[in-house]
Structure 1
Amino acid sequence: MRRFGASLAVVVVGIGACRGELRFDDHVLDAGAAGDALAESAVPSGPCTKDGDCGLATLHCDVDEGRCVACTSHTHCGGPTPRCDPALHRCVGCTSSDDCTSPASCDPVTRQCLVACREEDDLCPNGLRCNERIRRCAACAERSHCEALGPSFTCDVLTGRCISCRTDASCPQGRCDTFLGRCVGCLTAADCPASAPLCDIAAGRCIPR
C-alpha cells in the first residue's frame, strides 16, 4: 500500500473575543510542534498499578508509567477509532496506512484514514469534502463547511478538521482537547470537582465515583 511520507503542517488558530464574537487568526505551526500539542492533549489521569485502580471501565492502567489512560492496546478501542495510539494513549482511526483500506492512507496528524483528492469537484465519500490544501477528502476545506456545528467552529484548513479551540482560553468552561480541537469537561482527574472526581478521558467529562 502506498504511504504518504510528506510531513504535514497544521494551522494554529488563535481565538480572541471582540465585542462578544470569536475571531480566528491563522498561522502555520510545523509538524514537530503539532506533535507536542497532540501529546499534551492526552494527559492521563491518576496513579495506578492495575485497571481496577482507575475507577472507570473506560480507563486502563499503563503499568509502565503508573497512570490511567484511555487505552493501552487496540482491544480497548472500537468503532470509528479502532486503534490505540501508544504515544497519545488514545483511540484513533489509524496509526499507520496499514490500518486503512485502499485507496485511503493514514494522516499522521489527525490519525484518520483519508482518501486522496486533487480539486474541489472530486467526489469524496461519506459527505467529506476535497481539501485542496492537503489534497485529501476531509471534514472541511473552509470555515463555511463547519457552520452547522455552531458559531464557535472554524476549519483548520491544514488538517481538514472543524475545531472550536486551540487553547483552554477558548473554552469558557472545561478544557481544550487540542488533538480534536474541541472543548471538553476534563482532560485529567485534576480538572474534576470532588462530587465527580473521575475523568472519563474518552468522553471528556467528569464522572461520580
Structure 2
Amino acid sequence: MRQNLARRAALVDAAIEVLARDGARGLTFRAVDTEAAVPNGTASNYFANRDDLLNQAGARIYARLRPDDATIAAMSRGPAGRERTARMVREVLERVTTFRTGYLALLELRLEATRRPALRALLTDRVRADLDANAEGHLAAGLPGDADTVRLIHLAVNWLVVERLTLPDVFPQETAAELITTLVERLLPPGPA
C-alpha cells in the first residue's frame, strides 16, 4: 500500500464526497479516482479493498467533525448553566450541518454498517466513545443534568441534523436554534444562566 499521507487523505475526502452524492453503492475506486482528479487505479494502490476505504472514510468524517481547540475553549466560557449548554448544542448543530457531505456520508456508512460487521464495530466504538466523552465533559464542566441528559440531547439533535440536511424547510435554522433552547430548558434543571 502507498504511504503518501496527503494523497491518502485526499482520496478519503473524495470517498466522503462520493458517499454523500452517490451513496454506498456508488462508492467505487474509479469513482474516488475521478472525484480526487487522480489517474484511474490510484485509489486501489492506497486501500486494500472497499471495506478498507469505507472504514477509513468513517474515521476521517469523525476527525473532520471534531471542533478545533479554539472552538472547544470558546464553548467552555460562561456560567455552567442551561444557556451555555444550549449555546454548545447550537454550535454542534452548526458545525455538523456545515460539513453537509460528511454527515450525509456518515448516514450512508451507518446504513452500510448493517451489512458490514467491521464497519459496524468501528462506528459503534466511535459513537460510544463520543457519547462517553461528551457525558464526562458535561459533568466535569459542572453543567446541569447527568449522563442520561447528554444522551437524550444527543438523540434529539442527531435527528434535528438529519432534518436540517435532508429537509431543511421543516425546521429552518432559526426554528432549529429555538428548538435546541427549548430542549435544553426542558431537560436540564434550572440553575445558573
TM-score normalised over the length of structure 1: 0.19
Q: Which has the higher Rg, Structure 1 or Structure 2?
A: 2
Whose helix proportion is higher, 1 or 2?
2
Identify the structure with bigger relative contact order (alpha carbons < 8 Å, sequence gap 6+): 2
Whose strand proportion is higher, 1 or 2?
1
